[in-house]
Amino acid sequence: MKILGFIIGAHSCGAAYYVDNEIKAVIEEERLTRIKPHTDYDNNFERYPVQSIRHLIDRFGLKLSEIDYFTSFLPTQTGIDIFKAMYNYEIAPEKYVHIDHHESHAIFSYLTSGFQEDTLVFCADASGGVNAHSSKTYLGSKGKMTYLDGLNTKRRSLGHFYAALTELVGFRRLKDEGKVVGLAGHGHLWERLYNVWSDVIKIEGTKTNEDNHPIESGEVYVDMYTKFHQFIGSKYWKNKNVLEDIAHTGQRLFEDRVISLINNLHAKVPHTKKLALSGGIFSNVKLNKRINELDQFDEIYVLPPMGDEGLALGCVFGTLNKLNPNPPKRLDNVFLGTEYTKEEVLNAGKEFKRIDLDIDFVCEKLLDRKILALYQGKSEHGPRALGNRSIICDCTHKETYGILNGKLERNDYMPFAPAIIDEDVDKVFHLTKSKYTAEFMTLLVDTKEEWKEKIPTVVHPVDKTARIQIVTKESNPLFYQILKSYQKHTGIGILVNTSFNVHNEPIVEKPEEAFNHLRNGIIDYLVTPYGIFYC
- Least distance from Fe ion to the Cβ atom of residue 409, Å: 28
- Least distance from Fe ion to the Cβ atom of residue 497, Å: 26
**Closer residue to Fe ion, CB minimum distance, 123 or 514:** 123
- Least distance from Fe ion to the Cβ atom of residue 204, Å: 23
**CA-CA distance, 174 to 172, in Å (whole number)?**
6
The residues near 505 (Cβ < 8 Å, ≥ 6 apart) are 34, 36
- Least distance from Fe ion to the Cβ atom of residue 289, Å: 22
Residues 178-207, one symbol each (x = binds Fe ion by CB under 5 A, - = not), give ------------------------------
The 10 Å Cβ neighbour count of residue 497 is: 29
Q: In whole angstroms, how large is the CA radius of gyration of the chain?
A: 23
The residues near 52 (Cβ < 8 Å, ≥ 6 apart) are 6, 13, 14, 15, 27, 28, 29, 32
**CA-CA distance, 304 to 299, in Å (whole number)?**
15
**Closer residue to Fe ion, CB minimum distance, 334 or 496:** 334
Q: Which of 128, 182, 250, 314 binds Fe ion (CB under 5 A)?
A: 128
- SS3 assignment for 347-406: HHCCCCEEECCCHHHHHHHHHCCCCEEEECCCCECCCCCCCCEEEEECCCCCHHHHHHHH
Site stretch for Fe ion (CB under 5 A), options 123-131, 198-206, 233-241, 485-493? 123-131
Residues 299-338 that bind Fe ion (CB under 5 A): 308
**Closer residue to Fe ion, CB minimum distance, 299 or 308:** 308
For 135, the enclosing helix (H) or strand (E) is strand 133-141
**Closer residue to Fe ion, CB minimum distance, 106 or 169:** 106
**Closer residue to Fe ion, CB minimum distance, 104 or 396:** 104
**Closer residue to Fe ion, CB minimum distance, 128 or 218:** 128
**CA-CA distance, 273 to 181, in Å (whole number)?**
27
Tell me the number of residues near Fe ion by CB under 5 A: 3
- Least distance from Fe ion to the Cβ atom of residue 247, Å: 23
**Closer residue to Fe ion, CB minimum distance, 307 or 349:** 307
Residue 223 sits in the site that holds Fe ion (CB under 5 A): no
Check residue 44 and give left, alpha or beta (phi > 0: left; psi -120 to 50: alpha): left
Burial of 144 (0-12, 13-18, 19+ CB in 10 A): middle
Residue 244 sits in the site that holds Fe ion (CB under 5 A): no
Specify whether the CB–CB gap between 282 and 306 falls below 8 A: yes
Site stretch for Fe ion (CB under 5 A), options 126-134, 221-229, 417-425, 478-486? 126-134
**Closer residue to Fe ion, CB minimum distance, 128 or 305:** 128
For 327, the enclosing helix (H) or strand (E) is none
- Least distance from Fe ion to the Cβ atom of residue 10, Å: 8
- Least distance from Fe ion to the Cβ atom of residue 48, Å: 18
* 502: helix, strand or coil: coil
Shortest Cβ contact with Fe ion: which residue?
Answer: 125
- Least distance from Fe ion to the Cβ atom of residue 163, Å: 12
**Closer residue to Fe ion, CB minimum distance, 100 or 509:** 100
Q: Which long-range contacts (CB under 8 A, 24 or more apart) does 76-85 make?
A: 82/8, 82/48, 83/6, 85/48
Residue 125 sits in the site that holds Fe ion (CB under 5 A): yes
Specify whether the CB–CB gap between 252 and 194 falls below 8 A: yes
**Closer residue to Fe ion, CB minimum distance, 126 or 408:** 126
Specify whether the CB–CB gap between 372 and 524 falls below 8 A: yes
Site stretch for Fe ion (CB under 5 A), options 83-91, 124-132, 367-375, 503-511? 124-132
**CA-CA distance, 7 to 72, in Å (whole number)?**
6
- Least distance from Fe ion to the Cβ atom of residue 308, Å: 5
Site stretch for Fe ion (CB under 5 A), options 125-133, 142-150, 152-160, 269-277? 125-133
- Least distance from Fe ion to the Cβ atom of residue 280, Å: 6
Q: Which residues bind Fe ion (CB under 5 A)?
A: 125, 128, 308
